[in-house]
Amino acid sequence: MASLPLGETSLPAAPAQSGIVVHADRTALIAARRRGSLRLIMARCATRPFAWRMAIALAFVFALVRLINAYPLPHGLPAVRLSLTERPGIVSAPLGSEQTDLPAPPGPGALLALDPDQARSSNAAVAPQPFSEIAPPFRAADMAADARGRAVDCLAAAAWYEAGDNPPGERAVAQVVLNRVRHPAFPKSVCAVVFQDSARSKACQFTFACDGSLSARVPGAAAWTRARAIALAALAGMVDSTVGLATHYHADYVVPRWRDSLIKMAAVGPHLFYRWPGTWGSLAALRPLPPGSDEPHVLSLARLSPAHVPALPDDDSVTQPRLAPPAPLATRALAEIAPAAKPTPTARLAADPIDLTLDPAAFPGSYAVRAYALCKDRPRCLVLGHTPAAGEAIPFLFLHDARKGVDTALWNCARTPRPDRSQCLPGPAATARLIANWQR
C-alpha cells in the first residue's frame, strides 16, 4: 500500500459533474438571453441575493434607455400632450355619428418666447409631411346669390390682409378658409370663419380681423381686384393643392404653442401650413354646405364693398333717415386697371346691354374683372362679350344687380371649359330668354 506525503489526507476526487453543471447553467442562461426569454432569467435571478437582482435590474434599465436613444421617434410627428385644463385637440368619435365634442381650434395668441431668428430655426427643423388627399372643389352655387357676393368680399379680404398682394399666398389662405367652412370644428359660412372671434382683441383666428388692420390699411384698386378674382376662382371650384387639407397656418417668424400638435404640410411664402392628425385632418372630415347657405353682413367691409351695407327698408314711407353707404373701393378706382371698352350710346340705360370685345388669348377670368369694371357705377347692367369671329355663339355674359348683390359671370363652356358647370351658359334659346328677362 503506498504511503501518503505528510500533511495530506486522502480525499475523494472532486467530481467533474459540478463543472459540467456550471457550464450547462451558463449555456442555458446565454441561450435564454438570445431567445429573449425573460422567464428563465428571472427564475435564475430569484436564487441570487437581493443586491445581485438589483444590479441586473439596473443593467436592464440602462439597456432600455440605450435602445430608445438609438431609435428616436421622427421629429416631424405631432406630439400628443395631455392637459387637465384644456379640451383635447383630437377626438375619437366616429365621423359618421353625432359629434358631442369637436377638435378645439388652437388659441391664436399662444406663442413661444422666441425671437424671429430662433423661431425660423425651430420651424425649419420640423420637416413637412405632404399629404396625398386634397380638398374637393368648393360649390358656391349652393349659396344664395347675395350671400355669394358677401362671401367673395370676406374671402378676398382674408387673402389680401393675411398674405398681401401675393397671388400664391392669397390662394393658400383662401384654401384654408374654405377648408374651415366645411370642417365641423368651424362656423358654417365664409364670413363667419374669417371673422371668428373678431370681437376678442388680438385673439381672433385671422389676425387682421381684430388688430386694427381693417381701418389702418386699405388695398389698392388693382390689388383688391386681384384678391377678388382669386376669391371668385376659389369659390367657383379652384383648389390649391399646395396646402391640400390645411386648416391652420402661421408666419415663419413665430412659433405657436399648438404647432407640434398638428402636422406641417407645406410652406408658401412666409406662412407654414398645417392639418390636424388623424380623421379630423383627412378628406372625410369635410362636409358640403347645405343649399341656400347665407353669409352675414360685415360692417367693417362696407368701405370695400356695398354688398356689406345692411339693406334698408323698401318702403319709402318709413321716416327713419336713410344714410348714404360709404363709397366702396371696388367701385371707386377699378377703371384704372380695366381696358377702356366703350359701351354703345344706348348702353347707358341700366337694362341695355354693354358690348365687350374679348381677347381670345387672355385669361378667361379677366372677362369677369373687365365686366365688373364696366358695371361698377350702375345699379343693374348686362354685359355681352363677343370675339372677332363672326357667327359665333355668345362666349361670355355678365349680370350685375347692386341692390340684390348679384354679380354673375357665365361662359360658353364649349369654348371655355369651366370647373363648375353652374358657370356655363345654357343653350342658345335659353340664353336668349335669360337676356330678354333681364332687360325687362
Asked whether residue 80 carries a pLDDT value surpassing 60, the answer given is no
Answer yes or no: do 147 and 277 share one domain.
yes
Asked whether residue 88 carries a pLDDT value surpassing 80, the answer given is no
Answer yes or no: do 135 and 198 share one domain.
yes
The string of DSSP codes covering 197-222 is: TTTSTT-SSSGGGTSSHHHH----HH
Q: Is residue 91 part of a domain?
A: no
Answer yes or no: do 239 and 185 share one domain.
yes
What is the average pLDDT score of the chain? 74
Residue range of the domain that includes 64 = 36-74
Q: How confident is the model at residue 30 (pLDDT cuts 50, 70, 90)?
A: low
Q: Which of 248, 279, 301 delimits the end of a domain? A: 301
Cell 345654357 identifies what position? Answer: 426
Give the number of domains in the chain: 3
Answer yes or no: do 273 and 418 share one domain.
no
Decide if 110 contacts 391 (C-beta within 8 A).
no
Q: How confident is the model at residue 248 (pLDDT cuts 50, 70, 90)?
A: very high
Cell 378706382 identifies what position? Answer: 333
Answer yes or no: do 51 and 147 share one domain.
no
Q: Is residue 84 part of a domain?
A: no
pLDDT number for residue 409: 85
Asked whether residue 235 carries a pLDDT value surpassing 50, the answer given is yes
Average pLDDT over residues 316-343: 40
Average pLDDT over residues 302-331: 52
Q: How confident is the model at residue 118 (pLDDT cuts 50, 70, 90)?
A: very high
Q: Is residue 246 part of a domain?
A: yes
Answer yes or no: do 286 and 350 share one domain.
no
Q: Is residue 224 part of a domain?
A: yes
The pLDDT tens digits for 167-191 are 999 999 999 999 999 999 999 899 9
Q: Is residue 69 part of a domain?
A: yes
Asked whether residue 9 carries a pLDDT value surpassing 70, the answer given is no
The pLDDT tens digits for 399-409 are 888 777 778 88
Answer yes or no: do 372 and 231 share one domain.
no
248: which DSSP letter?
A: E
Answer yes or no: do 239 and 363 share one domain.
no
Q: Is residue 166 part of a domain?
A: yes
pLDDT number for residue 390: 47
Answer yes or no: do 69 and 122 share one domain.
no
Asked whether residue 14 carries a pLDDT value surpassing 80, the answer given is no
Q: Is residue 205 part of a domain?
A: yes
Least confident among 179-193, 230-244, 305-319: 305-319
Answer yes or no: do 296 and 362 share one domain.
no
Asked whether residue 351 carries a pLDDT value surpassing 90, the answer given is no
Helices (H) and strands (E) in the chain, counts: 12, 7
**273, β-bridge pairs:** 249, 266
pTM, to two decimals: 0.52
Asked whether residue 8 carries a pLDDT value surpassing 80, the answer given is no
Answer yes or no: do 58 and 151 share one domain.
no
Answer yes or no: do 259 and 372 share one domain.
no
